[in-house]
Structure 1
Amino acid sequence: MSQHLSKTAAPSPAETEARIRLHCLPELGPKRFKKLLSAFDSASSALSAPASAWRTLGLPAACSDARRSSEVREQANTTLQWLEDPDNQLLMWDSDRYPALLAELSDAPPLLFIRGDASLLELPQLAMVGSRRASAPGLDTAHSFAKSLAAGGFVITSGLALGIDGAAHQGALDAQGKTVAVLGTGLQHMYPARHRRLAADIVTNGGALVSELPLNSPAHASNFPRRNRIISGLSLGVLVVEASPSSGSLITARLAAEQGREVYAIPGSIHHPGARGCHQLIRDGASLVESIEHILEALRGWQQISSSAECPAPARHPLLDLLFAAPQSTEVLVLSSGWPLSDVLAALTEFELEGRVSCEAGRWYAR
Structure 2
Amino acid sequence: MHHNSASISAQSMAWIRLASAYSVATKKWLTLLSELNCNPEALLTSKSKASFLKSAPKTATHLFDKISEQSVKKALMWLDAETERHIITFGCCEYPEMLKTLDSPPLVLFVIGNPLLLQQPQVAMVGSRRASHQGKSIAEDMATALADAGITVTSGMALGIDAAAHKGALKGLGKTVAVMGTGPDTIYPYKHRPLHADIINAEGAVITEFFPGVPAKAWHFPRRNRLIAAISLGTLVVEAKIKSGTLITANLAADLGRDVFAIPGSVYHSYSEGCHWLIQQGAKLVTNVNDIFDELAIEPLCTRNIVNVENEKSEVNSLATDKLLASVDYDVTAIDVIAQRGSMPVQQAMALLLEYELCGLVTAVPGGYIKLRGK
Scaled by the length of structure 1, the TM-score of the pair is: 0.74
Counterpart of 2:16 in structure 1 is 20
1:101 alignment partner in structure 2: 98
Partner letter of residue 244 of structure 2? S
Offset of residue 297 of structure 1: 2.4
What is aligned with 1:78? 74
CA distance in 1, matches of 2:97, 2:224: 17
CA contact (8 A) 2:16 2:89 kept: no
Deviations 1:254-302 (A, max 9, x none): 1111111111001111111111000110000001112222222223434
* CA–CA separation in structure 2 for the residues paired with 1:177 and 1:54: 52
Other-structure match for 1:165? 162
**2:31 counterpart of 1:30:** no
Cα shift at 1:60 = 6.7
Give the aligned residue type for 1:30. T
* Residues 15 and 90, structure 2, Cα contact 8 Å, conserved in 1: no
Give the deviation of 1:248 after TM superposition. Answer: 0.7
Q: Which has the higher contact order (CA 8 A, sep 6+)?
A: 1
Question: Aligned partners of 2:170 and 2:89: how far apart in 1?
Answer: 28
Q: CA deviation at 1:109?
A: 1.5
2: CA distance, partners of 1:60 / 1:197: 45
Q: CA deviation at 1:58?
A: 3.5
Matched residue pairs, number?
A: 293
Are 1:184 and 2:181 matched, yes or no?
A: yes
Give the C-alpha shift of residue 46 in structure 1. 3.2
Distance 1:54 1:181 in 2: 43
Q: Does 1:280 align with 2:277?
A: yes
User: What is the rounded CA distance, in whole Å, between the counterparts of 2:292 and 2:299 in structure 1?
Assistant: 11
Question: 1: distance between equivalents of 2:256 and 2:155?
Answer: 17
Give how far 1:32 is off: 1.5
Q: CA deviation at 1:77?
A: 1.9
* Structure 1 residues 117 and 272: CA distance shift in structure 2, 3 A: same
Q: Deviations over 1:240-262 (max 9, x none)?
A: 00000111111111111111111
Q: Is the 8 A contact 2:16 2:107 kept in 1?
A: no
Counterpart in 2 of 1:205?
Answer: 202
- Contact kept in structure 2, 1:36 and 1:43, CA below 8 Å: no
The partner residue of 1:268 within 256, 265, 269 is: 265
One-letter code of the match for 2:164?
A: A
CA contact (8 A) 1:237 1:263 kept: yes
Task: Say if 1:27 and 1:60, in contact at 8 Å, map to a contact too.
Answer: no
| CA apart distance, 1:53 | 5.0
What is the SS of the residue equivalent to 2:60? coil
Q: Any residues of structure 2 matched to 1:1-367 within 5 Å, and which?
A: 13-38=9-34, 39=36, 41-47=38-44, 48=46, 49-50=49-50, 52-53=53-54, 56=57, 58-59=59-60, 61=62, 63-67=63-67, 72-84=68-80, 85-304=82-301
Q: Is the CA contact (8 Å cut-off) linking 1:17 and 1:80 kept in structure 2?
A: no
Tell me: CA distance 1:248–1:99, structure 2 relative to 1, closer, same or farther (3 Å): same
Asked if structure 1 preserves the Cα contact closer than 8 Å seen for 2:85 and 2:113, the reply is yes
Identity percentage over the alignment?
42
Unaligned runs of 5+ in 2: 1-6, 305-375
Q: CA deviation at 1:24?
A: 1.4
Residue-by-residue CA offset, 1:45-80 (whole Å, 9 max, x unaligned):
43432484596274373x33344xxxx223212212
What does residue 326 of structure 1 align with?
Answer: none
Q: SS of 1:46's equivalent?
A: helix
**1:295-332 CA-partner distances (Å, limit 9, x unpaired):** 2222343423x859xxxxxxxxxxxxxxxxxxxxxxxx
1:77 aligned partner, one-letter code: K
Distance in 2 between the 1:24 and 1:182 partners? 19
Amino acid at match of 1:230: L
Q: Which runs of 5+ in 1 are unaligned?
A: 1-10, 309-367
* Contact kept in structure 2, 1:40 and 1:46, CA below 8 Å: no
Change (3 A) 1:289 1:261: same
Secondary structure of the residue aligned to 1:83 is helix
| Residues 112 and 210, structure 1, Cα contact 8 Å, conserved in 2 | yes
**Alignment partner of 2:300: what SS?**
helix
Q: Larger C-alpha radius of gyration, 1 or 2? A: 2
The CA RMSD over aligned residues, in Å, is 2.4
Within 2, Cα distance between the matches of 1:94 and 1:140? Answer: 40
Distance of 2:94 and 2:16 partners within structure 1: 18
Counterpart of 1:147 in structure 2: which amino acid?
T
What is the identity, as a one-letter code, of the residue corresponding to 1:13?
S
CA contact (8 A) 2:179 2:228 kept: yes
Question: Which is worse superposed, 160-169 or 24-33?
Answer: 24-33
Q: Which amino acid aligns with 1:290?
A: T
- CA distance in structure 1 between the partners assigned to 2:200 and 2:58 by the alignment: 40
Aligned pair in 2 of structure 1 residues 26, 146: CA closer, same or farther (>3 Å)?
closer
Partner secondary structure for residue 41 of structure 1:
coil
Distance 1:197 1:157 in 2: 17
Deviation at 1:89, TM superposition (A): 1.4
